Amino acid sequence: MLNRTIAPPIKDAIEFNLSLKPFEKHTLNNGVPVYAVNAGAEEVLQLEWVYYAGNSFEKHNLVAASTNFLLKNGTSTKNAFQVNEHFEYYGSYLNRNCFNETAVITLHCLAKHLEVLLPVVREMLVDAIFPEEEISIYKQNMKQRLNVNLKKSDFVAGRLIDTYLYGPEHPYGRFSRFEDFDSLTREEVLNFYQQYYRDGKFLLFAAGKLPSNLFSLLNQHFGDLKNSTVTVPLIPSVQAEEKKYRVTNDPQGVQGAIRMGSNFPNRHHPDFTKAQVLNNVFGGFFGSRLMSNIREEKGYTYGIYSYLENHIQESAWVISTEAGRDVCEATIVEVYKEMEELRNEIVEEDELLLVRNYMIGSILGDLDGPFHIINRWKTIILNDLPEDHFYKQIETIKTVSAEELQQLANKYLQPEQFYELVVV
């Protein structure tokens, strides 16, 4: 019997040996790979169709995102209401998301309802008709949403900093405009749908308590679809020459949105994981230096964070916060002070241990359940990383030295490399 008068031993998270449950790989008749994690106690599962149909492939702005969104808005046999009602009737949830390189259709459902849900997903992928009425409603709703968002300084800042970092014509730097919605046509949407969905390339990811007939069902409904060779366009970024921007969005506003950003290599670069450790010391979590200084000591903001953007081709190191209009410039000064300290002084071992434990603990939380596990694998697979990337990442977090972090700070945390943007 446990002696409950004695507290259990306390262990640091870095002492844990984390493992990532391997995926099973199956291949449909058309060569489409299915990556699956069979785990969990409940009879639920998640299926994701990942198409190479993101913003990088569009000739005109918003075509990729609009096509992805409107997949659910009608086929030749069902109108938008009937499609949505079908999924809701069976207690399932079907979502769509469009990213820079990929576009995703995600289905959450009970395993027992797969046989009646998969045919409708297939119908969306091969027989969507994009009615003019639905496109008109979509354009009206999106313009109303954009009109509301443009009044928010934080929204405007998020758009502009990416444009400065990558260029206005780069998929990572483009943003939606009213004229883009006005010029969007059904013909453009249909052509994009034909090229990148009907004739495109996709992968499948499955997670949850998977039924024994899952792969035969997937093969039955999707094993005859086209699976073409698609190459993601490699579009070079074009950074803005000017580094400092001050934008007035609301003359009466009392708060300003601050973004500071610098271009950074992608996940394949040997500095990437080490930089993630440095980023957490700098501003990556609630116990970071930026938070301690600018929130707790100065009281300029409720929260400030830094992060490495999770793009596939290129990345960026970004600092993001909102502060009182009268202290925005002082906030930027303090950010640079924290960069300088990281360049000039070694991180103390206690602080580094706290960050290591935070990062390992966060990863441990991300491994809770099959949906989180398959998301880890999806990131590895879509970024074309080696299968042992997860374990190399853990090892780097546990072993990177304070001296290495100082070298990285001197390499990447230089004020002249950062764009400054304040939107009030």
> Is 90 exceeded by the pLDDT of residue 310?
no
* Burial class of residue 270 (count of CB atoms within 10 Å of its CB; 0-12, 13-18, 19+): exposed
Confidence of residue 14 (pLDDT cuts 50, 70, 90): confident
3-state secondary structure of 125: helix
- Tokens at 359, concatenated: 């990062």
Q: Which is higher by pLDDT, 320 or 310?
A: 320
The closest of 119, 32, 122 to 71, measured between CA atoms, is 122
- 303 torsion bin: left (phi>0), alpha (psi -120 to 50), beta (else): beta
CA 294 – CA 19 distance, rounded (Å) = 37
Q: Per-residue pLDDT averaged across 109-116, rounded?
A: 97
pLDDT tens figures, 222-234: 999 999 999 998 8
pLDDT, residue 13, reads 83
Q: What is the CATH number of domain 244-423?
A: 3.30.830.10
pTM of the model: 0.93
The DSSP letter of residue 57 is G
Mean pLDDT over 350-372 rounds to 95
Judged against a pLDDT cut of 90, whether residue 282 lies above it is answered with yes
| Residue 55 pLDDT grade (very low, low, confident, very high; cuts 50, 70, 90) | very high
Q: At the topology level of CATH, where does 24-222 sit?
A: Cytochrome Bc1 Complex; Chain A, domain 1 (3.30.830)
Q: What are the strands of the beta sheet with 304-308, ordered from one edge?
A: 244-247, 419-423, 255-264, 315-324, 304-308
Q: Tell me if residue 409 falls in helix, strand or coil.
A: helix
Which structure tokens are listed for 210? Answer: 């998977």
Please, which pLDDT band fits residue 334 given cuts at 50, 70 and 90? very high
With beta carbons less than 8 A apart as the criterion, state whether 267 and 276 touch: no
Q: 347: closest CA among 267, 286, 262, 279?
A: 279
Same fold, 24-222 and 244-423: yes
Checking if the pLDDT of 1 tops 80, the result is no
What is the rounded average pLDDT of the residues 6-23? 88
C-alpha to C-alpha distance for 98 and 365, rounded to whole angstroms: 26
Mean pLDDT of 306-321: 96
Q: What are the structural domain ranges in the chain? A: 24-222, 244-423
First-to-last CA distance in the chain?
62
- Tokens 């446990």 correspond to 2
- From 148-152, 184-188, 309-313, the region with the lowest mean pLDDT: 309-313
Q: At 16, is the pLDDT very low, low, confident or very high (cuts 50, 70, 90)? A: confident
